[in-house]
Amino acid sequence: MTITQEQATWFAQTFSQIADNVERAVLGKRHVVELVLTAMLSDGHVLLEDVPGTGKTSLARAVAQSVQGTNTRIQFTPDLLPGDITGITVYDQKSGSFEFHTGPVFANIVLADEINRASPKTQSALLEVMEEGRVTIDGVTREVGVPFLVLATQNPVEQAGTYRLPEAQLDRFLLRTSLGYPDHAATVRILDGAAVATADLRPIITPQALVGMADLAASVYVDPLVLDYIARLVDATRTADEVRLGVSIRGALALTRATRARAAAQGRTFATPDDVKALAVPVLSHRLILHPEAEFDGVTQEAVVGQVLLDTLPPTQRESA
């Protein structure tokens, strides 16, 4: 069943209200806020590459507060163990039985701070829960609940004592973006105390209603020509001269889901090539592995995706050509 125009209008209004609410605590970062909400409504996760002190924790708490969700924060360190994330089973001497103590991953919004500081074994504890929304411990599978969003951060500058995220884990993030520093006007407002404390934000929607929004986003119509455009973009990343490993089919599916959510956020019942263009860089760039020579020459993943967008004609231009 395809989303109706009335539902799309409601979706766009609610999406805007949530973004407005979050932006009261995270000033001047509307684009990033909308990307995070798009990921959450696409059943995806977000990787934030930022230096410390840019408001990543405030962003996670503001989103959780706006959707009446639970919020946890995991500080990744080299000595962090998988059980510290997922939870552990302990023996209760009084009852004579084993009890499961849930870990911080059992929340609606999980902030995984400096994820690349933990060992690969600990990072891998997130793989199942990010892909399927559940964890398996001692042979028992437990759902973490919905909605579920992992906001992972890593410092792109300080790399001492870190472990590079494996490609399999990077591929599970729907998109990668950066908050960055606020502009001058937003900085002045922050210094003047204009930012609202996250605890004071009013909830906009319930978690159950947010799941309903995600279902509506999944029913947005995507024309076969737009799907063909996405496929051609993905194929082009695999044949680019600077790329050693291009975008996987998981990446193509992620771009399609995000495109649907963006179309609904714009109040439309159908997706357009412009939706694809707006999301291609944050959704696809972190999935590329460049040749060492290209990296040495200063080529970035974002630049490669940008060039692919320029070289790959969208449907309307292709038909008229």
Taking only the tens place, the pLDDT of each residue in 10-42 is 999 999 999 999 999 999 899 999 999 999 999
Q: How do residues 260-307 score in pLDDT, each as one tens digit?
A: 999 999 999 999 999 999 999 999 999 999 999 999 999 999 999 999
CB atoms within 10 A of CB 159: 11
State residue 169's pLDDT score.
83
Residue 44's pLDDT is 94
Is the pLDDT reported for residue 180 higher than 90?
no
Beta bridge partners of 110: 72, 150
Q: In this model, does residue 233 exceed pLDDT 60?
A: yes
Note the pLDDT of residue 160.
Answer: 61
142 has a pLDDT exceeding 70: yes
pLDDT tens digits for 160-172? 667 778 788 888 9
**pLDDT exceeds cutoff 70 at 251:** yes
Output the pLDDT for position 136.
Answer: 86
Task: Give the mean pLDDT of 219-236.
Answer: 96
Q: Is the pLDDT of residue 250 over 60?
A: yes
| Confidence at residue 308, expressed as pLDDT on a 0 to 100 scale | 96
User: Model confidence over 183-220: pLDDT tens digits?
Assistant: 899 899 889 988 888 888 999 999 999 999 999 999 99
Q: How confident is the model at residue 52 (pLDDT cuts 50, 70, 90)?
A: confident
Tell me which residue of 223, 228, 221, 222 sits closest to 318, measured CA to CA.
228
pLDDT, residue 137, reads 85
Given this model, what pLDDT does residue 69 score? 92
Strand partners, 73: 111
Percent over 90 (pLDDT), the chain = 66
Q: Would the pLDDT of 316 be above 80?
A: no
Peptide bond before 120: cis, by omega within 30 degrees of 0? no
**pLDDT, tens digit, 9 for 90 and up, residues 73-118:** 999 988 999 999 999 888 888 888 888 889 999 999 999 998 888 8
